[in-house]
Amino acid sequence: MSAGIQDNASAGHSSATASKTMKQWQRLAGDTSVSGQYKEKPEYFEVIEELGFLPTADEKGQHHWLHVRKTQLTTEQVAKFIAQAVGVPVREVGYSGLKDKFAVTEQWFSVQLPALTQPDWAAIFTVELSSISPRYAGGQVTLLNAVRSSKKLRRGVHKCNHFRLRLTSVSDPAALQARFRAISSWIPNYYGEQRFGFGQGNIQQAEAMFAGKRIKDRNLRSILLSSVRSWLFNHYLERRIQNVQTKLLAGDVFLLAGSHSFFTATDCDEEIQQRVASGDIIPSGPLFGDGESAAQADALALETEVASLFPELHAGLVASRVKPDRRELWLRLQDAHFQQISDNEVEIRFSLPAGSFATSVLQELGDFSAPRYE
């Protein structure tokens, strides 16, 4: 996972228990007998965030940018640790995206401090975390770089995430390699299962919230609304694969590659199809909310159908005044590499744009499960 909501496992323990299998959404490449495990160890799931830019150095800047490597800690836990260390509210700590807890991940944070403040960051990051709070037990965080700048790190600004995954107990490495090569251009851009909490618990909490249960925690409320939008998007994408595979629909909304700009095409003519094939534009699906969809014709009809399958969830988003948005339907793997390590272990490497999930790639590859850490 590169981005997404953390699961509901306790932050205080890190022992692995029974295996957790991903919910199986409709695969574009069809069924497969390939199976295996991922995240057997945290170091078997590595994520490196690439901002796509470097913070502009400013010796008098009030924003301290910190490049860190973490394991067995959530992004929010590291943000709280930084805030505690310098005595500021956690809202003063910025980061671009959420990274997996049970993994080895690298990402940037920023924290705003008075102009004359210069913490000893090297010393701060040598503190034993478990001495601060039992919630940090087993976690490790290392400072890689520190830069002062005049700007805060904003959410969602990083370019991509680079993944290195060690897969174990692989049933058929040769078949996995063939499938890895075959799917590299068209991968359903599903949200990962961690977006929904363990056992889809976030969706259940959202249903209770929409039914009248009061959620005082604004951050939790935001998480639940995001989970519902992700859930509906996944169902839209699944229904689309079942109905038309990768075929374009009249009235589709296309996103320009590398931007948030989009347009609606009433007729998906040859020019549109060529632009899709080249990667210049990507067909999108709905992130439902309070407002009219940009889709038209057949694409709009499918969106309406999916919304009607979950009337309470859709109505809850509308009542919550969530702004509608769009998300790419398909992923293209960048920098893809496959290496067989042993008879039943392989390593795969690839890059995904911000907001996309490595677990969605794994789902397309086969039936992969991970230990459930508690």
| Active-site annotation, residues | 100
Residues near 118 by Cβ (< 8 Å), separated by ≥ 6? none
CB distance 5 to 223 below 8 Å: yes
Collapse the DSSP code of 49 into the 3-class scheme (helix H, G, I; strand E, B; otherwise coil) and give the result. strand
Tell how strand 252-256 and strand 262-265 pair up: antiparallel
Closest CA to 235 of 297, 318, 305: 305
CB distance 182 to 349 below 8 Å: no
Closest CA to 241 of 31, 22, 20: 31
Residues near 105 by Cβ (< 8 Å), separated by ≥ 6? 46, 47, 48, 49, 69, 70, 71, 99
Distances (CA, A) of 70 to 26, 104, 138, 279: 33, 6, 11, 34
